[in-house]
A and B are shown apart, each in its own frame.
Chain A
């Protein structure tokens, strides 16, 4: 009987908590339960969610990507530089950013696989490198139309409408202009990565690598290629996050995106607790991101001061980790 309760709480505890939160905020904060508020929550978690899905792929192969936040801000600056200063079209800017993300992922992967640098150190190094690189072309300044360039000329280019559409367009769902484009992209990426990790043989092999890389290689799995692929997925999703951020802001803001890394890693780790998976998974990551979003939105609407936000996120993360590791170890322990 006790085992059943434990099993049930490990499996559904987090989802029940999520539903409970929604019910509580709906009753306590007028206006929380409604399409506008829901769209706002989704909007707030879309970009961190996309980054978190990428880092989930690296967690699956027992790796870790600390460079995602820096990749996202680099994509933000690169897209601004490309359109405002080099006067490229939206397509070119987007392609440049995606290419940059893939390249960074490839370099991360090669550092880890070929040069045997531990994953945390390799991606930490890459994070510093990118934070530095993105400041060099503009001498540490943000990029906006009309800014004076080092040579004395004025930047003439603008963010094209097509690019801004990516960040600002809202689809008509239930009420007019409700659902923002980044949310749609987030959902699409979440579904794709969920299918990829959970239901394809490539995903299954990646989980095998994460659980026992040696066993995976001894059945003929090209372990190194899958690991590199995981970092490339992570790099590309992070650059998508950066593109969407740029499109929403409409300028190359050097200071934005500071919290992206920690928030998205937190979402991926909270995801371990969802449905008692005790391992990285795309569905859990998306729910984890949503959980943090709902909590912060509800608290804001109940007038909790902004500076309590990080504390709340931290508390949720620690609780989720205890949930995952302590309770599921008890559960497997009971099985023997």
Chain B
């Protein structure tokens, strides 16, 4: 084997008491694609952030082509030829500028560039770069006006322009359709042939099958499996990713009692089959699917943010047509949204105010808030859910991600719900907090129907009584969470898009 492009050994990283990386050893060979798999919270993104200079490691070494590599920051890593395309695309592009300017941005930053921008020259250069990448968008179009997929391609094209030795792609296909993904794979093939070492993070089986030379699996901050013998053993990799955790989590599978939420022929998207679904009192239903599978669209409809194209919804036998979020909350449908940073946390508020925000009316006497009542309920919730904090009057920003998420969920447990919707409740949450949240959701499930929207299978296995797979805006399959057939479940989730039917947002 040729000399490693990047060698990572004994890498450790902790955030406070949370030991995220517990001694990672990874080797990236030039001219090969290493796929990194791992469930949420396994430490994948932390590993990437250490390699690309975002975080400093606590212990361990990295060597780049035999020389010690210890990037001071992201710019330093890039100058050494380690380039990362992050998952959130908008970090990689400047929305207000046109395509040509985005592609040539690094050129503009160079000192010798001169004062004036030569637009025509710039566009010609940019067209050349785009043609190499197979990008066919108008060079004058503003990036804001492009589709997510085109933006993603441009972000990757910008990374290419830096001639990387090591390229890290963090879930690059999560917002691409099958044809667009094919373009990306062609590009990866070309880079592989040029001898670039590629670290590709994904858990889409179709991607992994298409491009992986090796698979490295992470679980709970450690490497749990390395697969590099032809043919690659994909099933073993999935098992290594999920580990034995399913056996550890003991789900007393509940059938549920009376139907609470009934969806009949609910049409959430053009050209998608209508959804018929019943969620019963006391059961936890997980809706699992990839990005763009329609999970968020369904959650938005149930919470009154969007309207269905057709069909009907009933709660406890009564028609339910929420006109707004306010209306949905008033009818006992609560939702903890995904991306708590943008959608849930009020950074200026303390824990008690954040937690009681939806139900301030209940804590006030003729509009005047009772700080004492707010604190009493928040204190009780802190004990119940196991939130680690000094006092409920501390700012929400003083909490770790997992504890912030607990506060956001506790928010909706203050009052009894008819239907509780949890959209990606384990996003950015460590394993410990995730267990706490799951346990508490299950313990309080009686008296309501609970729907959990998830992208990760193992999270669904931890929390749900029933797992429903969504694909292309429709229901694809249903599994009872009891000796579940994992291979079939994985195939249901990733299957159809692997056939190249295309997946649009």
Write the residues of chain A forming the contact surface with B, with a CB cutoff of 8 angstroms.
195, 199-202, 204-205, 207-208, 210-212, 214-222, 279, 332, 335-336
Contacts and interface: CB of A to CB of B under 8 A. Distances in A.
B483 interface: no
A219 B348 contact: no
A207 B368 contact: no
Nearest to A209: B346
Contacts of A217: 325
B329 interface: yes
Contacts of A214: 342-343
A211 B346 contact: yes
Contacts of B490: none
Interface in B371-415: 395, 397-398, 411
Contacts of B369: 199-201, 204
Please indicate which of the listed interface residues A210, A215, A217 has the most CB atoms of chain B within 10 Å of its own CB: A215
B197 interface: no
Nearest to A198: B369
A204 B353 contact: yes
Interface of B: 303, 305, 324-326, 328-330, 335, 337, 342-349, 353, 357-358, 360-361, 363-364, 367-369, 395, 397-398, 411
Contacts of A199: 368-369
A219 B357 contact: yes
B364 A220 contact: no
Among all A-B residue pairs, the 7 with the closest Cβ atoms: A211-B348, A201-B360, A220-B329, A219-B358, A220-B326, A200-B367, A201-B364
A222 B330 CA distance: 13
8 contacts: A201-B368, A201-B369, A208-B349, A208-B357, A210-B348, A215-B345, A218-B305, A279-B348
Contact of A216 (B357, B363, B398): B357
B26 to A, nearest CB: 30
Contacts, number: 76
Given A201-B360, A218-B337, A332-B397, A212 B325 contact: no
B328 A219 contact: no
A216 to B, nearest CB: 7
A218 B325 contact: yes
Contacts of A211: 346-349
B346 A201 contact: no
Nearest to A213: B346
B405 to A, nearest CB: 13
A216 B349 CA distance: 12
A202 B367 contact: yes
Contact of A218 (B335, B360, B368, B397): B335
A334 to B, nearest CB: 12
A219 B329 contact: yes
A153 to B, nearest CB: 51
Contacts of A221: 326
Nearest to A208: B346
A220 B324 CA distance: 8
Contacts of B347: 211-212
A329 to B, nearest CB: 12
Contacts of A200: 364, 367-369
Contacts of B398: 335-336
Nearest to A332: B397
A284 B367 CA distance: 23
